[in-house]
């Protein structure tokens, strides 16, 4: 049995694609996922399954489509991948000082040429680092005012992504750690 961290893109944001987490937990448990946990309302899940990462993503995508009627992109990570993403963050962050630190997790590795073009651009009060699995984003004036948000990166790199803040990533790491012990 493997522990997976699952991120759903674009649910319960600005009243769009509303899914109650209690109902989602029930749907996933009834479909055979074990130890299903959610964190806040924005599509952060921990599940246990014998299936592969890709199969977990496919199954959850289909369950959400069939049950709630929403075509929601699903990103599934193993615990070590989540740890690597957090540990490789190039911007200073701690439990006390993490405002403005975001992780834009990529569903696929971005095209090298598009990444290079974008990486050379500079934005006031924002900096980012592009890797094959994540774009690390430091928004000095907060994500709400950032030009470089999830939609910006998806459009420029022509890929799917989903963004989470430092606090959410650390909480998901903690929940996954407790489940794998």
134 and 157 share a domain? Answer: yes
Residue 108 shares a structural domain with residue 140: yes
Domain count along the chain = 2
**pLDDT, tens digit, 9 for 90 and up, residues 97-141:** 788 999 999 999 999 999 999 998 999 999 999 999 999 999 988
Strands (E), 61-140: 74-78, 101-106, 126-130, 134-139
pLDDT at 74 over 90: yes
Neighbours of 125 (CB within 10 A): 14
N- to C-terminal Cα separation, the chain: 12
In terms of pLDDT, which residue wins out, 181 or 45?
Answer: 45
How would you class 2 by CB atoms within 10 Å of its CB: exposed for 0-12, middle for 13-18, buried for 19 or more?
A: middle
Based on the fold, state whether residues 68 and 109 are members of the same structural domain: no
Quote the tokens at residue 63. 């369950």
CA separation for the pair 96, 59 (Å, rounded): 37
Q: The domain containing residue 125 runs over which residues?
A: 84-166
**Residue 88 and residue 66 in one domain:** no
pLDDT for residue 76: 98
Q: What are the tens digits of pLDDT across the range 85-96?
A: 999 999 987 777
Q: Following DSSP, what letter does each residue of 31-76 receive, concatenated? A: TT-EEEEEETTTTEEEEEESS-HHHHHHHHHHHHHHHH-----EEE
pTM of structure? 0.94
pLDDT score for 22: 94
User: Any idea what the CATH number is for the domain that residue 103 is in?
Assistant: 3.30.70
Q: pLDDT of 15-73, one tens digit each?
A: 778 899 999 999 999 999 999 999 998 899 999 999 999 999 999 999 999 999 999 99
Instruction: Specify which residues 46 forms β-bridges with.
Output: 5, 37
In this prediction, residue 164 carries a pLDDT of 96
């Amino acid at each position: 049995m493997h522990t997976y961290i699952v991120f759903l893109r674009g649910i319960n944001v600005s009243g769009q694609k509303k899914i109650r987490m209690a109902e989602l937990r029930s749907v996933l448990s009834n479909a055979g996922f074990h130890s299903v946990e959610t964190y806040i309302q924005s599509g952060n899940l921990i599940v246990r399954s014998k299936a592969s990462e890709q199969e977990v993503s496919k199954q959850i995508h289909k369950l959400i489509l069939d049950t709630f009627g929403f075509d929601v992109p699903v990103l599934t990570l193993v615990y070590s991948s989540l740890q690597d993403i957090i540990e490789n963050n190039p911007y200073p962050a701690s439990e006390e000082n993490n405002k403005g630190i975001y992780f834009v997790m990529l569903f696929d590795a971005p095209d090298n040429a598009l990444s290079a073009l974008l990486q050379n651009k500079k934005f006031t009060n924002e900096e980012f680092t592009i890797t094959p699995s994540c774009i690390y984003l430091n928004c000095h004036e907060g994500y709400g005012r950032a030009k470089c948000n999830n939609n910006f990166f998806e459009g420029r790199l022509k890929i799917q992504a989903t963004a989470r803040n430092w606090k959410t990533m650390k909480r998901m790491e903690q929940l996954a750690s407790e489940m794998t012990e």
